[in-house]
Amino acid sequence: MTKRIQILIVGGSFGGLTAAYELRRHLDPDQAEITLISKDERFTFVPSLTWVAMGSRKLSDISFDLAGPLAGKQVKFAHETVTAIDTEQKSLTTKVAEHRYDFLIIATGHRSANEAIEGLGPFDGPGHSPMSPREAEELAGAVQGLLRQPGPIVVGAAPGASCIGPAYELAFELDHLLRRRKLRHLVPITFVTPEPFLGHMGMGGVGKIRQLLEGELEEREIRYQTSAAVTKITAEAVEVQESRSIESVLSIVIPPLAGIDAVAKSPGLSNPKGFIPVDKHYRHHSADGVYAVGVAVALPPVEETPVPVNFPKTGHMTEQMAQIAVADIVARINGTEAPYAELSARCILDMGNRGAYINVDPVRPPRNRIPTVSEGRQWLFAKRVFERTYLWHARRGRKMPTTLGW
């Protein structure tokens, strides 16, 4: 009997779940044993964490248990925390077991480097961030506190941040919420960003998004600072390098990201920040059989900026990486060559009372196609429908729709 190929996937979010479903679609259970290892029991639709923070969603609305859908695809699920990866021995160690692999896909996501900004909590300082389910729930409580005791707020991103879209969304969503509660006149809003201009997004700009965002912030009387380097957050203010201190009773700052400890501490696996270097197929540069997808991947910024802005990695882009990596694994098993493609990005930005649709192909400039930027109420409706549709497919083990991206 031919020995089954052992494939391990680490991470149960967009990259891991997509990889598991795609691998099983191409490889029969008698050909490959697939195991997904995740420290989280549940899949969470991360783009909706801003809605959790605003109180319009509960975590139970945007998450589901991983075990059931994976079992339906004959994928083993191990609810375990990875502690080390030995690429020489092709083994992975968790707190409870050791796993061997022929192929390994690392889709571990990120560690929020909140320590980069003094006071960026929320659990060890006054600053807030929506980058994890626990943080989003904590922020939801802080937003309710703001509604009871209005005051000035600061929303933005720290130097080196790569996930800047949610900062824009939170600024617009808070503005919309405060206007509906007739409290906006009591709450000055300041937006601070390391971007050299609004809408840079780590992509060097996207069509006319700069003009759109400048107009929207000015129309809503949201003050903004670009090339802003946040250095410290206190209970009363946000301090910005080479600028005045900005008064704030609620400060929401997107942190820079880093690789998780298990990856960062495994010899020869990552760069100094804990991100994994890969080739065009998302295959590790030197470790045989190792792939990385999503936020775990080391991707250089598109350009140097006065204040660092890192390359973005959206859920849509993560799924593309997972599909390219899976295609390469399947091709290697079958003795063929796999195709690859440049990453594109599609997302819908929630602007409170409407949305903005952005389509960029490829993500890195220069581009053959002029990016699409469209704005209107229909896009906010589409974003809500997409969330429900994606979750419906994902919890049933079906191929997820990515027409709109996110």
In three-state secondary structure terms, 18 is: helix
Active-site annotation holder among 163, 249, 292, 358:
163
Burial of 93 (0-12, 13-18, 19+ CB in 10 A): middle
CA distance 255 to 72: 37
Residue pair 155/171 in contact by the 8 Å Cβ criterion: yes
Active-site annotation holder among 230, 276, 347, 358:
347
Active site annotation includes 28 = no
| Residue in this structure with the two tokens 């250095």, named with its chain if needed | 231
CA distance 400 to 391: 8
| Strand-strand pairing, 290-292 and 103-106 | parallel
A 10 A CB-CB count for 245 gives: 13
Cα-to-chain-centroid distance, residue 99: 27
Backbone angles phi, psi at 13, to 5 degrees: -100, -150
Active site annotation includes 75 = no
Inter-CA distances, 282 with 90, 149, 268, 292, 391, Å: 18, 49, 16, 6, 26
Residue pair 193/226 in contact by the 8 Å Cβ criterion: yes
Residue pair 82/296 in contact by the 8 Å Cβ criterion: no
Residues forming beta bridges with residue 85, ordered by sequence position:
92
Question: Catalytic residue numbers?
Answer: 163, 347
